[in-house]
Chains A and B, each alone.
Chain A
Amino acid sequence: MVADLIESVAKIVFIFSINLGFFAPILGWVERKQSAVMQDRIGANRANIGKFTIIGLFHPIADAVKVLTKEDFVPAGANKFFHTLAPFICLVPAIATFSVIPFGGQYELFGHHVNLVIADLDVGILFVFALTSLATFGVVLAGWSSRSNWSLLGGLRASAQMLSYEVAMGLAIIGIIMVFGTLKLSEIGAMQENFLHWGIFIQPLGFILFFTCAVAENKRVPFDVPEAESELVAGYFTEYSGLKFVMFWMSEFLEIVTISGILTTLFLGAWHIPFVTDAMLLSFFQFAGPNGATILAMLVNIATFFAKVIFFIWLQMTIRWTLPRFRYDQVMRLCWKMILPLSLINISITGLVLLLWIK
């Protein structure tokens, strides 16, 4: 009982600190620095302590100080209650979705069963969809409550776009759920121990479709029409400043991390290293004793998982600085006329193959 409690608290603290303490601030820096590298600029490099700038890594700290001291501005005529509520509705699902993503396998440690996922829900991936569908309201409310035309247009675009891509995203992963036969993300992860059974090899089309939908659901370039800065100033969060603005900004970054985590779990073998089974890993660390070996294997698995997450984050950042923004009608047409039929074809083919060859 006490061990369970300690395990839960440790997992929650770990995920919180790595998401809010590491990924959220570092991604802001990565986005600036990577865009600078790709555009042959130097990028953020001015924040310093004494003579040290450590390639601009003080900028997240400077940003935090700046944000905390800025005025919290609510425009005249705005609905203050909803204006304040909206960033919270955006941020809470972004933080909470990581609770169902397994960042490691299951281990026996000091006679205690450790399952490296905060909440191993039976509905697993559906929980993620439930929370992302709630996050839509944050965006829509932000657009509406600001009493500004830019915001309202951004909110309208966001509501239609996120709703459409949620449908397509749900259909895109049906194939992988059919293959693995479970919604539990920890089970899906465990089934990809064999390198050739990774989701990306079983469901290549599903991977591409889901990845596209996930980027669109997160409103990132090239699907960032709700905030399109050249058309709508900043879209739904035009009228936000200070801490509330940063909450939108952080929820976007946390969603990048969450999407990367889901992609890793579903398609890139979760916490497994290619061609290395769990048993091989344990026997490799045999010198540290049974518990020591388990701990070392666990750390390697967690590191592998986050290495893959960082790879997907890099991929999304690269896409962001490579592609131009689509027009709004192109975004919607891509969803309903390309991704949706392709997902349905993917489901049919997967079903036929499962029925005729695999059984």
Chain B
Amino acid sequence: MQLLMFYLLGLGAVVAALIMVTNKRPVRAAMSLIATMSFLAGLYVLLDAHLIAALQLIVYAGAIMVLFLFVIMLLNIEEKEGRLAGSALLWQMIAIAVVGLVFVLMVSVVKLSDNVVPLGEAAALFGTTRAVGKMLFTEYLLPFEIASVLLLAAIVGAVILAKRRIDDSDQ
């Protein structure tokens, strides 16, 4: 049952991701990305990481993708012929090579790593909100705080970039 769900969700995620990359219409690509992220959330649920699954839907599928769609709709981007600069073929070859390399790396990492923890009684608790929260505020406190400072800096940067410059408009 669980294996079947995994294959269904995984297939869905891969197909949606392929549609996202190959489709030239921005809204369709964005919707496929949302589908990919929803399938990924399903995979997280299978891994007993319920909190991550919920956050995946709230943050990625919900908030970030709404912003994507907002921008696409606001600019009313139409279907466009893809234009590749100058030596298009070369860039395509490089892209394919890089993607292939990453794929080989990922497969070898998964194949070579022997410390894959089997899901058991202990694993059933590790994805709960309480467990993740405890870990974030004890063991991983420093990375957590660094990430928050980074996000704060990004927010301040966004406000400064978007702010209307009063002295410019006055003159």
Contact = CB atoms under 8 A, between A and B. Distances in A.
A136 interface: yes
B19 interface: no
B84 to A, nearest CB: 27
A292 B54 CA distance: 39
B46 interface: no
Interface in A106-154: 121-123, 126-127, 129-131, 133-134, 136-137, 140-141, 143-144, 152
A291 to B, nearest CB: 33
A55 interface: no
Given A82-B27, A123-B50, A156-B73, A163 B58 contact: no
Contacts of B51: 122-123, 126
B108 to A, nearest CB: 34
B101 interface: no
A175 B41 CA distance: 26
A162 B63 CA distance: 9
A152 B61 CA distance: 21
Nearest to B55: A126
Contact of B74 (A133, A156, A170): A156
A163 B67 contact: yes
Given A122-B50, A123-B129, A129 B58 contact: yes
Interface centre among A79, A82, A123, A163 (most CB of B within 10 A): A123
A129 B57 CA distance: 9
A140 B41 CA distance: 22
Contact of B69 (A122, A131, A134, A137): A137
A140 B73 contact: yes
Interface in B66-106: 66-67, 69-70, 73-74, 76
A354 B67 CA distance: 36
Contacts of B31: 82, 137, 141
Interface residues of B, number: 25
Contact of B57 (A134, A162, A163, A183): A134
B62 interface: yes
B73 A130 contact: no
Contacts of A155: 73
A160 B70 contact: yes
A159 interface: yes
Contacts of A126: 51, 54-55, 58, 129
A163 B50 contact: no
Contacts of A136: 62, 66
Contacts of A134: 38, 57, 61-62
A129 B31 CA distance: 19
A123 B127 CA distance: 10
B111 to A, nearest CB: 33
A137 B67 CA distance: 11
Contacts of B129: 122-123, 126, 183
A159 B62 CA distance: 10
B34 interface: yes
Contact of A159 (B54, B55, B61, B69): B69
24 contacts: A79-B27, A82-B31, A121-B50, A122-B129, A123-B54, A126-B58, A127-B54, A129-B62, A130-B53, A130-B62, A133-B66, A134-B38, A137-B34, A140-B73, A141-B31, A141-B69, A152-B76, A155-B73, A156-B73, A159-B66, A159-B70, A163-B66, A163-B67, A166-B63
